[in-house]
Structure 1
Amino acid sequence: MIRQLLSHDLPRNRLLTAVLLVILAGLAFAPFLFPGAKALNVAAKILIFIVLVASYDLLLGYTGIVSFAHTMFFGIGAYGIAIASTRMGPGWGSLLVGGLCAVALSLLLSLIIGLFSLRVRAIFYAMITLAVASAFQTLASQLSQFTGGEDGLNFKLPEMLSPAFQLAEEQVLGAWLDGKFITYYILFFTTVLLFLAMLRIVNSPFGRVLQAIRENDFRAEAIGYRIVVFRTLSNVLAAVFATLAGCMLAIWLRYNGPDTSLSFEIMVDILLIVVIGGMGTMYGAICGSAIFLLAQNYLQDLMRIASGTAQGLPLLPALLSPDRWLLWLGILFILSVYFFPTGIVGKLRTWRQ
């Protein structure tokens, strides 16, 4: 049963299996294990980034396409929910209409970009997507009547998803069963379904063709596959999943703005997570997202503790200052690339038992 759910793509390493189970258990029981607002917010972001990074891995890791427009589709999903909820009011219908319109727009844009740009060489395609993403971010900032401009849009969700909603008057196992609790588990089960869907895609005959194109596009075309069609379909699928991740982000935050979903920093984070987790593995999105977001949110706190412990020693307090957390995050990334050139998942899979 589990083998079928995972599309016969098992972790193939006991340590990797244990790591994935720990991450899954932590995310599944996060409201009970980590009841604080910050911890729950980090867990929700890990869920969102698993979908977002896995969708980008479908492009980069499995098809060999470098795109800088992925955050554009991410932002379309978030703006779809935000604009529909602002215009139509809080309701399930608003979420449905916003999500469907966002997916339809992403389908159209990704199809146009794919058909007109994927015929060129990889570097030129990357530059085209970068230009399109920059133009879309500028457009979102200037169309303040629809997008709220630089200030973004605050909106309300259905009553069941609002923090004021209570399923029970008392805590259950240390967690309040409120609207935030319900919203988190909607995100959790959505992430599981979307991840399993992407895992099925990459392990289908279609996914095998994508991998053949990644390895040698000339050979794939020589044996009869129209590589432009397959690359375009891969671009469309990745855009749809990124859009759904954007919808998840907007539902969780109840806000969206240009810096929240369209920032180029998010694109850099996606690239870092794909490299850390392992390109072309899917499971790398889970490991990479968990490690990166935990480091991003808690490394500064750990350095503050370490700096206080090292007081009185030469140089160490200054080196471990919380203000230098980005430096250490960069060092951790360099070390991970050096010791895990195929990513964490790739290294563990090739590690002899």
Structure 2
Amino acid sequence: MLSRLLSHDLPRSRLLGWALVLIVLALVAAPFLFPGAKALAVAAKTLVFILLVASFDLLLGYTGIVSFAHTMFFGIGAYGVAVASTRLGPGWGSVLLGFAGALGISLALSMLIGLFSLRVKAIFYAMITLAVASAFMTLASQLSDITGGEDGLTFKNPLWISPAFEPFENPVLGLAVDGKVFAYYLILGVVALLFLLLLRIVNSPFGRVLQAIRENDFRAEAIGYRTVVYRTWSNVLSAAFATAAGALLALWLRYVGPDTTLSFEIMLDILLIVVIGGMGTMYGAVVGSVAFVLAQNYLQDLLKLGATALDGVPLLSQIVSPDRWLLWLGVLFVLSVYHFPTGIVGRLRAMALRLKA
């Protein structure tokens, strides 16, 4: 049953399997295990990044396409929900209409980019997508009447996922359940369903063709597969899942701006997570997102504890200063790439194969 649910793509490593079980249980019970607004926000961001990174891995890891326009589709999904909720008022009709409009725009743009750009060499395609994403970010910043410009858009959610919604008078298992908790479990459910769908796609005959194109596109073309068509469909599917991730982030934040969805820093984060988790493995999106988001949000707190413990030591107290958390994040990334060149998932699977041998 579990094998069918995972499309017969099992972790293939006992250690990885237990890690995934712990991650899933922690995310399911996060509102009860980790009380506080910051912990819940970190868990919600982790879920959104799992879907976003998995959708990008469909392009990079399974098809071998390097695209810098992924955050554009992410931003389209977020802005679609925000614009519709702002203009039409809070409600599920507005959310669904905004998401449907955003999805239509993303599908059309991704198909155009695929058809006109995927015939060129990989580096030129990457540059084209970077130019398109930069142009879209500039457009979102300048169309202030629609997008709110640099200030972005703040909107209200439907009633039962708004923070003011409190269905229970007393706490449930020690947790004051409100609309924010319902919003979290909505994100959890949608991400779980879409992640399983992505697993199904990459393990289908379509996914096998994508992997063949990644390994040798000339050979795939020679045996009868239209590589441009398959690459275009991969681009379209990846954009659709990224649009869904953007819509979920907008519902969680109740705010959308250029910095929250369209910035190039988010694109760099996606690339880092794919490399850390492991390319060409959907489970890498899960492990990499958890590791990166936790480090991004709690590394500064750990350094603060270290600086307090080393207070008075001239050099070490400055090295572990919380202000240098980005430096340490970079050091951790370099170490992870050095020790896990195929990503965490790839390394764990290789260890499992060696043990079996």
Q: TM-score, normalised by structure 1?
A: 0.99
Name the residue aligned to 2:56.
56
1:314 deviation in Å? Answer: 4.0
Distance 2:162 2:176 in 1: 13
Deviation at 1:313, TM superposition (A): 2.9
| Shift in Å, 1:316 | 1.2
Deviates more, 1:172-181 or 1:287-296: 172-181
Counterpart mapping for 1:1-353 below 5 A: 1-351=1-351, 352-353=354-355
Q: CA deviation at 1:160?
A: 0.9
Structure 2 SS opposite 1:83: helix
- The CA deviation string for residues 305-325 of structure 1, in whole angstroms up to 9 with x for no partner, is 011111233421111000111
Q: Which amino acid aligns with 2:337?
A: V
Deviations 1:54-92 (A, max 9, x none): 000000000000000000000000000000000000001
SS in 2 for 1:60: helix
Find the aligned partners of 2:334 and 2:164 in 1 and give their Cα distance. Answer: 44
State the 1:149 CA deviation: 0.4
CA distance in 2, matches of 1:35, 1:175: 7
Structure 2 distance, partners of 1:206, 1:23, is 29
Give distance in 2, aligned partners of 1:315 and 1:23. 37
Report the CA distance between 1:341 and its aligned residue: 0.3
User: 2: CA distance between counterparts of 1:252 and 1:349?
Assistant: 34
Secondary structure of 1:45's aligned partner: helix
Q: Give distance in 2, aligned partners of 1:115 and 1:22.
A: 42
Structure 2: distance between partners of 1:313 and 1:258: 42
Cα deviation, residue 159, structure 1: 1.1
Give the Å deviation of 1:158.
1.1
Q: How far apart in 2 are the matches of 1:97 and 1:34?
A: 34
Distance 1:23 1:32 in 2: 15
Describe the superposition over 1:289-338 as per-residue Cα deviations: whole angstroms up to 9, x where unpaired: 00000000000000000111112334211110001111110000000000
1:164 deviation in Å?
A: 1.0
Q: Distance in 2 between matches of 1:151 and 1:310?
A: 41
Q: Secondary structure at the match of 2:168?
A: coil
Cα distance in 1 for partners of 2:344, 2:280 equals 12
C-alpha separation in 2, matches of 1:162 and 1:13:
40
The whole-number CA distance in structure 2 between the counterparts of 1:150 and 1:303 is: 32
1:91-133, CA deviations, whole angstroms, 9 ceiling, x for partnerless residues? 0100000011010100000000000000000000000000000
The CA distance in 2 between the partners of 1:287 and 1:158, in whole Å, is 32
Question: Matched residues in 2 for 1:175 and 1:216: separation?
Answer: 53
1:2-36 deviation digits (Å, cap 9, x = unpaired): 10010000001111011111111110000000110
One-letter identity of the residue aligned with 1:140: A
Report the identity percentage. 72
Amino acid at match of 2:220: A
Kept after mapping to 2: 8 A contact 1:35/1:174: no
Q: What letter matches 1:71 in structure 2?
A: T
**CA–CA separation in structure 1 for the residues paired with 2:311 and 2:148:** 47
Structure 1: tracts of 5 or more residues without a match: none
Query: Comparing 160-169 with 145-154, which one deviates more in the overlay?
Result: 160-169
Aligned length: 353
User: Which residue type is aligned with residue 320 of structure 1?
Assistant: V
Structure 1 letter corresponding to 2:192: V
